[in-house]
Amino acid sequence: MSDSGNPSTGSVLVFDSGMGGLTIAREIMALAPGLAVDYAADSGFFPYGDKSDAALTARLPAVARALVEQARPDVFVIACNTASTLALEAVRDVLDIPVVGTVPAIKPAAGQSETGVIGLLATPGTVRRAYTARLIAEFAKKTKVIMHGSVELVQLAEEQASGQAVALEAFRKAQRPLFEADGGDQIDTVVLACTHFPLIRGELAATVPHPVSFVDSGEAIARQTLRVMPVQTLSPGAQGGRVFLTSAPEGQPRLIEVCRRFGFSDTQLCSVT
Ligand code: DGL
């Protein structure tokens, strides 16, 4: 039994635009080894961070429905801040299973900051969302929140994760605007508000101008996934380990290899219409 009182069986489909959601999948698997976990990447629409709200609002319910029809999970986890801060409700509306979203860990970061200044590293989409502004208004009233949206860091995370040699200087440069903003020298806590960024936590930590703590939502999402898992699971025999891609797998050797390293090796195409 998990700490939530639900049995650690059943199946979960963890979804992101690319490799980032693997950082959430690994937290879920660590917390509940008995769960069958599958992974899905919207490789046909990656990256999400620089897409318009209209394009993502149209895409997300359609891709979620197609994936759930094919994978038949008990719980669907949107392991993507860019998607969750825009379309969590729209995805819930088209699915009849529990949906867990991933949103920036602003509350814990504000709670632990001693300087009262926190940084938020995310995609440009997450930085401009009304949802993010609401989280700050609710949970970081007395905290200064400095945000930086970077598409480049997402690309760097995918390159680094797939074993390409990326110079440390690239990470330094990509996160520098956060610390060069007014008050940036006071930041003591940085929210990794994109699920790709825990993949490069070491590189980010090695290239910050002064020591900071990094906070992400991975563990909280894993706990929430167990909490919403139906007690009467629909697929008690599910094995997990599958990867669903929305573009031809032959075109995604890097993604497939990184998924395999995280334990997902049975690759299937999911067509989104
Ligand atoms: N992993 C996604 C997130 O958490 C975004 C990556 C992308 O831009 O596609 O925001």
pLDDT given for residue 253 in this prediction: 96
Within 6 A (CB) of ligand 1 lie 16-18, 20, 46-49, 80-82, 123, 126, 154, 194-196
Residue pair 36/60 in contact (Cβ under 8 Å)? The answer is no
pLDDT given for residue 3 in this prediction: 46
Ligand 1 mutation pick, 42, 80, 152, 155, max ligand atoms within 8 A of CB: 80
Cis omega before residue 47 (within 30°)? yes
pLDDT given for residue 2 in this prediction: 42
Its CATH architecture, for the domain 106-216, is 3-Layer(aba) Sandwich (3.40)
Q: Whose CA is nearest to atom 2 of ligand 1?
A: 80
Q: Which helix (H) or strand (E) holds 245?
A: strand 242-245
pLDDT given for residue 8 in this prediction: 60
Q: 6 CA distance to ligand 1 centroid (A)?
A: 30
Counted residue by residue, the chain has a size of 273
Which atom of ligand 1 is closest in space to residue 48's alpha carbon? 9
Give the start-to-end residue ranges of the domains of the chain. Answer: 11-102+219-269, 106-216
Q: Same CATH fold, 106-216 and 11-102+219-269? A: yes
Q: 97 CA distance to ligand 1 centroid (A)?
A: 23
Query: In which residue ranges of the chain is pLDDT below 50?
Result: 1-7
Known catalytic residues are 80, 194
Question: Where do runs of H (alpha helix) occur along the chain?
Answer: 22-31, 53-71, 81-94, 106-112, 124-128, 130-139, 151-161, 168-180, 201-206, 218-228, 253-261
pLDDT given for residue 136 in this prediction: 98
pLDDT given for residue 5 in this prediction: 47
Which atom of ligand 1 is closest in space to residue 50's alpha carbon? 8
Ligand 1 mutation pick, 85, 194, 197, max ligand atoms within 8 A of CB: 194
Q: 211 CA distance to ligand 1 centroid (A)?
A: 25
pLDDT given for residue 237 in this prediction: 74
Q: Compute the distance between CA of residue 262 and CA of residue 189 in angstroms, rounded to an integer.
A: 28
173: Cβ contacts below 8 Å, ≥ 6 apart: none
Q: 212 CA distance to ligand 1 centroid (A)?
A: 22
Q: What CATH code is assigned to 11-102+219-269?
A: 3.40.50.1860
Q: 47 CA distance to ligand 1 centroid (A)?
A: 7
Instruction: Convert the pLDDT of each residue in 185-234 to its tens digit.
Output: 999 999 999 999 999 999 999 999 999 999 999 999 999 999 999 887 77
Ligand 1 mutation pick, 132, 154, 258, max ligand atoms within 8 A of CB: 154
Q: Compute the distance between CA of residue 226 and CA of residue 4 in angstroms, rounded to an integer.
A: 7
- Assigned token pair, 8: 């650690």
